[in-house]
Amino acid sequence: MANLVEHERSHSDGRDSSNPPTIDTQRVDSRIASPVLRFLSRCSFGLGYTIVTLAVLASLLECASRIICSVFPLTRQAQLADQKESPVYEGAEWAREFWREEDLRLAKSRTYVPFRLWGVPEWHSNYINNDAGMGGFLRRTINPSNCGQSNSVNVWTFGGSTMYGVGVPDWATMPSYLARELNTGGQNCVLVSNFGVEGYATDQELILLEEQLKAGGRPDVVIFYDGLNDSMLQCPPGPPTPHGAYGTIKSRIEGSLSARIDFLQKSYAVRLAAELLARFHHPRSVAFLASEEQLRIKSVIFKYEANMRLARALADAYKFKLYSFWQPLLTYGHKPLVPFEQRMATADASRLSADNACLVMMTATYSEAKRRAIQDGTFVFLGGVFDSTKEPVYIDQGHLGPRGNELVAQAIANYLRDHPDSSRH
């Protein structure tokens, strides 16, 4: 028996020695995978650390930028601060509450409108109200309480933010003052509608007029009140733009990289960086700007007069009277400026900033507009309407306080009374 066991053992040993040794693949795979896993783990940790670090740095940068912007306001914030400091609000008990409402309204997003891109959003407060009208919302106009649609003379007014009434309550917009003026001592009841939209140029206003006519509206009188926005669209540096926010919309339609990250433009860090770049980046030379100035000015006047000719064709087709007025500008004319207005007129005059280059071109455009108004007679130039006004009327280079809107409304009302036949205007 012992010999048999020994034989089996020796046989088994011999069999094992005759076969090649087996490889423990699980142990080998483990030895190979361990460095790979350690490498991937280190990469993941490094990537996560980098992301967290960048997020923390971005948050710190955003917080620091916000603090800087609160101490040194951005251009838009500074413009609002300047407007609030205008002496037109001195002694006005309503001013503080009005500006609280205005700040809230300005923070509200715009409403998209086909073809015109944006319109007047719905808004209601003590001093600022956008009421539902035909095809959208309109800034409230204070009309006579006894006026009815059936027995009234309907006056439609078109323009940008100056017509809408930025910086003043409902009762102090130019259309509200115009309603008061046209209904003073008259036989008819005049109902004024304010179709002004912030940022609009005459291209958009013309589309808005067409939409209202196609919807069945029938005005007796249509008034255009423009000049500022049309001139501003041609401002240097850079190519002229058809309307406000064109760059953002153009990028999104074309699908460019800037459109995919344009949400960053709302961050304080990006806005502060853009502000600093704009301050340290001077526009092209004065000589180059001067060489472009005449071409840009001619483009402004040509487009404006072309739009008014189209409006005239609509007036002839729909049987309403058309009046076109070129609005005043702080830096044009001979108004005796109060200290606040003087400061606004000379802002950035010490260096050739982009804003100042724009203001210079706009002022020159006004001189050409006056010449064209006298020569052609298709629109009325109101650039000198404040030449004998010593009291403050401006809240910035173009927007007016209550007294300024009242004086413009008086000038327009007087012109309408003196020129009941609008065939040349």
Q: What is the pLDDT of residues 236-256, one digit of tens each?
A: 767 777 777 677 777 777 877
The reply to whether omega before 237 is within 30° of 0 (cis) is yes
Angle, in degrees to the nearest 10, between helices 268-280 and 25-71: 60
The reported pLDDT for the residue numbered 286 is 47
Comparison of pLDDT for 269 and 11, the residue scoring more: 269
- 3-state SS record for the chain: CHHHHHHHHHHHHHHHHHCCCCCCHHHHHHHHHHHHHHHHHHHHHHHHHHHHHHHHHHHHHHHHHHHHHHHCCCHHHHHHHHHHCCHHHCCCCCHHHHHHHHHHHHHCCCEEECCCEEECCCEECCCCEEEEECCEEEECCCCCCCCCCCCEEEEEEEECHHHHCCCCCHHHCHHHHHHHHHCCCCCCEEEEEECCCCCCCHHHHHHHHHHHHHCCCCCCEEEEEECHHHHHCCCCCCCCCCCCCHHHHHHHHHCCHHHHCHHHHHCHHHHHHHHHHHHHCCCCCHHHHHHHHHHHHHHHHHHHHHHHHHHHHHHHHHCCEEEEEECCCCCCCCCCCCHHHHHHHCCCCCCCCHHHHHHHHHHHHHHHHHHHHHHHCCCEECCCCCCCCCCCCECCCCCECHHHHHHHHHHHHHHHHHCCCCCCC
By C-alpha distance, which of 78, 120, 118, 84 is closest to 102? 84
349 has pLDDT over 80: no
78 has pLDDT over 70: no
Segment 98-118 shows an average pLDDT of 91
Segment 153-170 shows an average pLDDT of 97
The reported pLDDT for the residue numbered 188 is 77
Confidence of residue 135 (pLDDT cuts 50, 70, 90): confident
The reported pLDDT for the residue numbered 6 is 54
Highest mean pLDDT among 53-67, 287-301, 326-340: 326-340
Segment 291-298 shows an average pLDDT of 82
4 has pLDDT over 50: no
Comparison of pLDDT for 43 and 101, the residue scoring more: 101
186 has pLDDT over 80: no
Confidence of residue 22 (pLDDT cuts 50, 70, 90): low
Angle, in degrees to the nearest 10, between helices 174-182 and 402-418: 40
Q: Which two tokens mark 245? A: 């926010």
The reported pLDDT for the residue numbered 410 is 98
The reported pLDDT for the residue numbered 350 is 45
Question: What strands, in cross-sheet order, belong to the sheet with 189-194?
Answer: 123-124, 129-133, 136-139, 189-194, 152-159, 221-226, 321-326, 380-381
Distance, CA of 78 to CA of 72 (rounded, Å): 8
Comparison of pLDDT for 258 and 388, the residue scoring more: 388
423 has pLDDT over 60: no
Instruction: Give, in order, the Cα–Cα distances in Å from 110 to each of 106, 174, 226, 238, 258.
Output: 9, 22, 21, 26, 21
109 has pLDDT over 60: yes
Segment 398-404 shows an average pLDDT of 97
pLDDT tens figures, 196-233 = 999 999 999 999 999 999 999 999 999 999 999 999 88
The reported pLDDT for the residue numbered 255 is 76
Confidence of residue 393 (pLDDT cuts 50, 70, 90): very high
Comparison of pLDDT for 60 and 16, the residue scoring more: 60
Query: pLDDT averaged over the chain?
Result: 83
Segment 275-292 shows an average pLDDT of 57
* Residue 207 identity: I
What lies within 8 Å, CB to CB, of 189 at 6+ separation is 144, 146, 147, 148, 151, 152, 153, 183
